A and B are shown apart, each in its own frame.
Chain A
């Protein structure tokens, strides 16, 4: 039995926002322009991205709404109608509501009936976990198809008012992601049979290292590292917000670990015989910034298992870093715009810095 990605879709809200348009839209914190913006943007290399909020900080479309649009885009070009969908596997780092699960909200938004449901929670790798849940469901013969959707609406965390509510000081770790992340959704349709030219899933594997590393990216802890309270431990949410416990943070000092852990998993897969570097025709790697692409590339090269630069594809620079949605949005655009032949091998990599979970997938282009 094999599982195939027979269709894909994406949704990016609103017009592309250039680097110069970002700060006017997200707002000046305490009325002052950011001093870090230029440096961070230069390092990540992103030129345009999309936001589901407007300059007045109204939300233009919900997270579940974006996910539904991406799913509909995917289904509109597939052989299946909504009524035939058997399973929905959804991923996001933060839904519109705390509860219920994102999958439930998306199911309602999409109007899918009687499906088997899975919600996966995490950061960038949560889409791969959602994909693996659906993939194994099909492999086990439990279902014949599954819609896998990943969506992110992080811009709501980046409004100037959020930082202002957390006090006067804006530390680097709390501001960093403001210039990195943006909104969007991607969807894949999995079936137990190929349709036209599509992708066979050869395997999906992930390696998580949370036991060996501290938290690197988080929402829920205050800025002061000696305070181990979570946002829910404060008397009121207002106090949690004032303490900065609702800001999204990246511990930049720990971030470099992502490079070696990404390469570590790659080397493991090579020694297991799952990856043969010489056979890989396309690499789709969700790196959060151009800076890391170079580092990963160099380390693979140094280990003698590099993959030629012209085989790497990414749309990070034009679509932005949309967290868990990135890899699906990338695969969708690859499928639509990049030449690929039957028999080609595609290696997808998602190294997540949240607490260091690295996911990998190999696809082969097939034709029914």
Chain B
């Protein structure tokens, strides 16, 4: 494997982000819903509940990423191009998620009228706020977490969900789809890191945003079990 992040600053940032990711995975390992998934004690109803909670985040996700793109000024037009491309690719992903929900036995109106959970509120609020700042370089930290999660869904969760719910992949398409362009996305992320992390304060901001995103993402997943 070749080293994809070349500048020393970028490399340092990558090391710190890897540690944030590993810590995030351990946090995920403590989420009751995911512990049940791991033990194979995870029902189709659990899965539907997860999708209901996830949908809002996917919808909001496409919004903050678009706003993030628009907040980069002309000095960062190259970055803007990359992010616009990314936003364009993913901004209607929630439709696939809705189809999975229906394929798993849920009613379309149920998922469409579901509100954001507490964690999603916090995550969305934070990301929209950061995306509204000018030149929000730190958001590459949020992308790192969310991209990593996409891979984890595809390589790990989708198969486990199918296994414990007796599925054949027909209602885990959204999760699986995220693994399809892994390498390409990761490569783009490495390039962004190299481009956006050029001094220690940018490094600290990127890592901090990654940490906050990870924590709030976990909160969102913890909240799946809570009904209000």
- Evaluate contact between A303 and B30: CB separation under 8 angstroms: no
A225 and B11 contact, Cβ closer than 8 Å, known pairs A212-B26, A264-B18 = no
A42 CB to closest chain B CB (Å) equals 21
A301 and B38 in contact (CB under 8 A), knowing A261-B22, A263-B18, A267-B19? no
Q: Given the interface contacts A209-B26, A212-B30, A298-B1, does A226 sit within 8 Å of B40 by beta carbon?
A: yes
Interface contact B19-A264, CB-CB below 8 Å:
yes
B4 touches A (CB below 8 Å): yes
State A214–B1 Cα separation when bound (angstroms): 30
**When chains A and B are docked, how far (Å) is the Cα of A212 from the Cα of B22?**
11
Return the chain A residue nearest B31 by Cβ: A212
Q: Could you tell me the distance between the alpha carbons of A303 and B12 in the complex, rounded to whole angstroms?
A: 8
Given A298-B1, A302-B3, A270-B15 contact (CB < 8 Å): yes
**Residues on the A chain within 8 Å of B21, using CB:** 260
B35 to chain A, nearest CB (A): 8
Using a CB-CB cutoff of 8 Å, which residues 113-137 of chain A contact chain B?
none
Contact with B along A259-294 (1 / 0, CB 8 A): 011011001101100000000000000000000000
* Contact in complex: A267, B40 (CB < 8 Å): no
Task: Determine which of B3, B23, B25, B26 lies in contact with A301 in the assembled complex, contact meaning CB atoms within 8 Å.
Answer: B3
| B contact residues around A212 at 8 Å (CB) | 25-27, 29-30
Shortest CB–CB separation between residue B21 and chain A, in angstroms?
8
Contact flags A81-110 to B (C-beta < 8 A → 1, else 0): 000000000000000000000000000000
The verdict on B41 contacting chain A, using a C-beta distance below 8 Å, is yes
Shortest Cβ distance from A319 into chain B, in angstroms? 28
Instruction: Give the number of A-B contacts (CB < 8 Å).
Output: 61
Q: Which of B1-55 contact A (CB under 8 A)?
A: 1, 3-5, 8, 11-12, 14-16, 18-19, 21-23, 25-27, 29-30, 35, 38-41
Bound-state CA distance A211–B28 (Å) is 11
For B15, give the chain A residue with the smallest CB separation. A303
Residue in chain B with minimal CB distance to A306: B3
Interchain CB contact (< 8 A) of A303 among B11, B29, B41: B11
- Name the distance in Å between A209's Cβ and chain B's nearest Cβ: 6
Give the shortest distance, in Å, between B192 (CB) and chain A (any CB). 16
Q: Does A305 contact B (CB under 8 A)?
A: yes
Decide: B39 and A214 in contact? CB cutoff 8 A. yes
Given A226-B40, A261-B22, A301:B14 Cβ within 8 A: no
Q: Of A209, A260, A263, A304, which is in contact with the most chain B CB atoms at under 10 Å from its CB?
A: A304
Most chain A CB within 10 A, of B12, B14, B22, B40, is at: B22
Of chain B, the residue at the smallest CB distance from A213 is: B29
Judging by beta carbons under 8 Å apart, are A214 and B38 in contact? yes
Taking CB as reference atom, which chain A residue is nearest B38? Answer: A214
Residues from chain A with a CB closer than 8 A to the CB of B12 are: 304
Complex alpha-carbon distance, A268 and B34, angstroms: 26
Q: How far, in angstroms, from A213 to B5 measured CA to CA in the complex?
A: 30
Pick the contact of B15: A225, A260, A261, A304 (CB < 8 A): A304
CA–CA, A264 and B16, complex, Å: 10
Q: How far is it, in angstroms, between the C-alpha of A98 and the C-alpha of B59 when the chains are bound?
A: 57
Enumerate chain A residues within 8 angstroms of B25, measured Cβ to Cβ.
212, 257, 260
- Whether A304 contacts B11 in the complex (CB less than 8 A), given A213-B29, A214-B38, A225-B39, comes out as yes
Q: Residue-by-residue, is A46-64 near B (CB-CB < 8 Å gives 1, otherwise 0)?
A: 0000000000000000000
CA distance in complex: A261, B21 (Å): 11
Q: A270-B15, A303-B11 are in contact. Are A264 and B29 (CB under 8 A)?
A: no
Residue of A nearest to B163 (CB): A253
Closest B residue, CB atoms, query A302: B1
Which residues of the partner chain B approach A209 to less than 8 Å between Cβ atoms? 26, 29
Given known A261-B22, A268-B19, A298-B1, contact A304–B41 (CB-CB < 8 A)? no
Task: List CB contacts (< 8 Å) of B101-152 with chain A.
Answer: none
Chain B residues with Cβ below 8 Å from A261 are 22
- Chain B residues within an 8 Å CB radius of A268: 19
Q: Say yes or no: B22 contacts A260, CB within 8 Å.
A: yes
Given the interface pairs A301-B1, A303-B15, A304-B5, the reply to whether A226 lies near B41 with Cβ below 8 Å is yes
Distance in Å: Cβ of A272 to nearest Cβ of chain B: 12
Q: How far is the CB of A326 from chain B (nearest CB, A)?
A: 24
Chain B residue contacts of A303, Cβ below 8 A: 11, 14-15, 18
Q: Hey, which chain A residues are within 8 Å of B8, CB to CB?
A: 304
The answer for the CA separation of A291 and B99 in the assembled complex, in Å, is 38
**Inter-chain contacts of A213 with B (CB < 8 A):** 26, 29
Instruction: With CB as the reference atom, state the residue of chain B lying closest to A214.
Output: B38
Closest 9 CB pairs of A and B: A304-B11, A212-B26, A212-B29, A264-B22, A298-B1, A303-B15, A267-B19, A213-B29, A267-B15
Pairs across A and B, CB under 8 Å, 30 listed = A209-B26, A211-B26, A212-B25, A212-B26, A212-B27, A212-B29, A214-B35, A214-B38, A214-B39, A226-B39, A226-B41, A257-B25, A260-B18, A260-B22, A264-B19, A264-B22, A267-B18, A271-B16, A271-B19, A298-B1, A301-B3, A302-B1, A302-B14, A303-B11, A303-B14, A303-B15, A303-B18, A304-B8, A304-B12, A305-B15
B interface list, Cβ under 8 A from A = 1, 3-5, 8, 11-12, 14-16, 18-19, 21-23, 25-27, 29-30, 35, 38-41
Q: A211-B30, A302-B4, A305-B15 are in contact. List 9 more A-B contacts (CB 8 A).
A: A209-B29, A212-B26, A212-B30, A213-B29, A260-B18, A264-B22, A302-B3, A303-B15, A304-B12
